[in-house]
Amino acid sequence: MKSEEYEEAYWEARDALFRRGKSVGMPVPGREGIRECNIDGTPLTDRELFTEAWGRALADDILRPNRGRKPYLSERSLQPVSPVS
- Asked whether residue 7 is domain-assigned, the answer is yes
CA of 53: how far to CAs of 13, 33, 71, 74, 78, in Å? 5, 22, 17, 22, 19
Q: Encode pLDDT of 31-63 as tens digits.
A: 788 999 999 999 999 999 999 999 999 999 998
Q: What is the pTM of this model?
A: 0.73
- Asked whether residue 43 is domain-assigned, the answer is yes
Cβ 54 vs Cβ 16: under 8 Å: yes
Q: Taking 90 as the threshold, does the pLDDT of residue 69 lie above it?
A: no
Q: Give residue 4's pLDDT.
A: 87
Q: Give residue 82's pLDDT.
A: 46
- Total domains in the fold of the chain: 1
Query: In whole angstroms, what is the distance from residue 32 CA to residue 16 CA?
Result: 27
CA of 82: how far to CAs of 7, 28, 31, 37, in Å? 10, 20, 28, 19
Q: Give residue 1's pLDDT.
A: 57
What is the three-state SS of 36-74? Answer: EEEECCEEEEHHHHHHHHHCHHHHHHHHHHHCCCCCECC
- Asked whether residue 46 is domain-assigned, the answer is yes
- Asked whether residue 84 is domain-assigned, the answer is no
Q: Domain limits at 36?
A: 3-74
- Asked whether residue 67 is domain-assigned, the answer is yes
- Asked whether residue 58 is domain-assigned, the answer is yes
- Asked whether residue 79 is domain-assigned, the answer is no
- Asked whether residue 25 is domain-assigned, the answer is yes
